[in-house]
Amino acid sequence: MSGDGEWRQELDGQQLADVRQLLLAVRDADGRPEVEPEGALPGEFDGGEHLVACVDGDVVGYAHLDTTGDSFGHQVAELFVHPAHRSRGCGAKLLQALDERAAVGFRVWAHGDHPAARQLALRAGLERKRELLILHTTVEGADWPEPTLRDGVTLRAFVPGQDEDAVVRVNARAFDWHPEQGALTAEDVRADEGRPWFDPAGFFLAEENGEVIGFHWTKVHEATPGRFDGERVGEVYVVGVDPAAQGGGLGRALTLAGLRYLASQGLRQIILYVEGDNAPALAVYTKLGFARHETDVQYGR
């Protein structure tokens, strides 16, 4: 494996094209990451630092390090090896370079808990630090009733240019414990408004006395080879309720509103992400028909 060995804050045009082709090959083999043939790379690759690995002039590996880190100060990394170049030491060299570059306490994702990634992490002395579960359900046969709201609470759709700050305020209070979600900013919301998947009609706000007290942000993923039968799939992207407004079934009502909306879009499958140790949320989603489908793991020291 060769290359200039330099971590870069930006990829030039050719590097971006080469990395995209590598990520597309990884997607076709593993089902992720969700990367498109054109346009910007997924948001998780914005900013930070990039390392590109080459063999005989071909890009065979890529690592991204989020130097800003999560809400607890852990820098977070992802690394990928072209399917045609696996089991040749490329992943180990990328991980070594990452270990030398990243701050103490960094975390690295293993999406789908891939066996090769697990072995690589363990050989490097890393431990499982976090499990993020992907839950899944099918729309056919689902019995999702009309949401019931307590007196004085109403639901409406998100209005771009008006509601960003209100959503961020609720989100910060609802997810002050979460490594990533709690750090959401109004700029992040506005950036997502520019992404192809953004749909304000599927972004539900709960209001009481004119104040936003909760929200359910849904998302639709385009068909990805190797995942979910190659179909478009809906996602319960974020459900947030202000702690001062919890109780009375507001979280369940918001969840039902989003599920019914996703079903109305002709989608046959719906997913969501939930922390593996969040027992109350797991209980709620299990009652709504969700079951574990995949597990993403963060490894660290």
Q: Does 250 belong to an annotated binding site? A: yes
Q: Does 81 belong to an annotated binding site? A: yes
Q: Does 235 belong to an annotated binding site? A: yes
Q: Does 252 belong to an annotated binding site? A: yes
Q: Does 80 belong to an annotated binding site? A: yes
Q: Does 246 belong to an annotated binding site? A: yes
Q: Does 239 belong to an annotated binding site? A: yes
Q: Does 248 belong to an annotated binding site? A: yes
- For 249, residues 6+ apart whose C-beta sits below 8 A from its C-beta are 148, 150
Q: Does 5 belong to an annotated binding site? A: no
Q: Does 249 belong to an annotated binding site? A: yes
Q: Does 219 belong to an annotated binding site? A: yes
Binding residues for acetyl-CoA: 79-81, 239-241, 246-252
Binding residues: 79-81, 180, 219, 235, 239-241, 246-252, 273
